[in-house]
Amino acid sequence: MSDTSPHLSIADAVLEPQQDLERLGSRSLAVGLVAVAAMVLGYFLRPHDFHRAWLVACLLWFHVAAGLLGLGMLNHVTGGR
């Protein structure tokens, strides 16, 4: 039985992480600017709803961070077992 699959070595790999990060950074900047524009527009059109949504978003991310902190402390206490 002959093996016809190509064998790749690490020397054949061409990685360009800097270009990938620059492309990702420019896309992230564009998405962030659109989100900030939507946030400012929402603030001026409906400020009461904006503040309510802002509070919900802050509480959501606080609880995510607090939960992950609790899981990290539990992992530290048990040694990852």
Which contiguous run of DSSP H or E holds residue 60? helix 47-78
* pLDDT in the model for residue 13: 66
- The pTM of this model reads 0.54
Q: Which residue ranges make up each domain of the chain?
A: 16-45, 47-81
Residue 67 has pLDDT above 80, yes or no: yes
pLDDT at 63: 97
Q: Give the helix/strand (H/E) hosting 21.
A: helix 17-45
pLDDT, the chain, mean: 87
For 8-42, the pLDDT digits (tens) are 677 666 667 777 778 888 899 999 999 999 999 99
H helix count then E strand count, the chain: 2, 0
Reduced to 3 states (helix: H, G, I; strand: E, B; else coil), residue 10 is: helix
